[in-house]
Amino acid sequence: MKRFFVLAAILGLVITGCAKKEEKKGQYLVKINNVTITKEDLKKEIEALPVFAQKMFEGEEGTAKLVDELIKKELLYQEAKKKGLDKDPAYQKKLVDSQKLILISSLLEKEIEDKAKVSDKDVKSFYDKNRADFTVQGKPIEFEKIKDMLAQRLTAQKQKEVFETYVENLKKAYKVDINKEAIAAMSKKEESKEPVKEAPQKEAPKK
């Protein structure tokens, strides 16, 4: 069961472009009702996986394992649709939330990540200015040994700065109306729901 959830996390339970209707020409590997999975689909699935996960599906045995996982995914997807779960309000809400997150991720990749890149020169300059902070037993750590760690730190810091500036500019560009009274009233209601602590009962006097 644990193995299933690991593979499900890698592949994702949301059907991607791997399953197409039979309009597509070319040699198919699997056909499930009117849906086919082709060599090209399988190749794209593998390329989309992290490097460590790709190694799980190498060779003939690995390919067969991946095909089997895609079959399971398509079967579960078709069964869910057959039961009408795609019309369920809870599912529709999750779908909208997922679309929002995907769009936000695309926006941040374009507006934040691309503008927050750190050059090797920036990393070396930071190291030189703060060399005293990178020592072991009084000896400075060589730049090459901590270069990647410093690059990650500086990139994260720069991304945070760019993100905060970007959001502040959005707040100015969009009309944001915060109803502080409603928020305060809501907070008070939440506080009133807290269970009332009962006063400790006094022991009856001994006769």
Residue range 175-205, pLDDT digits in tens: 989 999 998 888 777 666 655 555 555 555 5
Give yes or no: residues 28 and 65 share one domain: yes
Asked if 32 and 78 touch (Cβ cutoff 8 Å), the reply is yes
pLDDT band at 22 (very low <50, low <70, confident <90, very high): very low
Maximum alpha-carbon separation in the chain: 96
pLDDT band at 3 (very low <50, low <70, confident <90, very high): very low
Give yes or no: residues 79 and 133 share one domain: no
Q: Which of 34, 68, 87 is the last residue of a domain?
A: 87
Cα 113 to Cα 97: distance, rounded to the nearest angstrom: 22
Is 127 a domain residue?
yes
Give yes or no: residues 114 and 82 share one domain: no
pLDDT band at 107 (very low <50, low <70, confident <90, very high): very high
pTM: 0.56
Neighbour tally for 35: CB within 10 Å: 18
Is 132 a domain residue?
yes
Q: Which residues contact 27 (CB under 8 A, 6 or more apart)?
A: 38, 39
Cα 91 to Cα 96: distance, rounded to the nearest angstrom: 9
Least confident residue range of 16-20, 25-29, 91-95, 142-146: 16-20
- CA 196 from chain centre, in angstroms, equals 40
More confident residue, 25 or 17: 25
Cα 9 to Cα 73: distance, rounded to the nearest angstrom: 12
- Average per-residue pLDDT for the chain: 82
Is 196 a domain residue?
no
Burial class, 100, CB count within 10 angstroms (exposed 0-12 / middle 13-18 / buried 19+): exposed
Number of domains in the chain: 2
Dihedral of the alpha carbons of 24, 28, 34, 35, in degrees to the nearest 10: -80
Give yes or no: residues 8 and 37 share one domain: yes
pLDDT of residue 202: 56
Give yes or no: residues 48 and 94 share one domain: no
For 94, the domain range is: 90-173
pLDDT over 50 (residue 2): no
Give yes or no: residues 102 and 35 share one domain: no
In this predicted model, what pLDDT tens digit does every residue of 125-138 receive, in sequence order?
Answer: 999 999 889 988 88
Is 39 a domain residue?
yes
Is 152 a domain residue?
yes
Is 10 a domain residue?
yes
Cα 170 to Cα 102: distance, rounded to the nearest angstrom: 19
Give yes or no: residues 101 and 48 share one domain: no
Is 206 a domain residue?
no
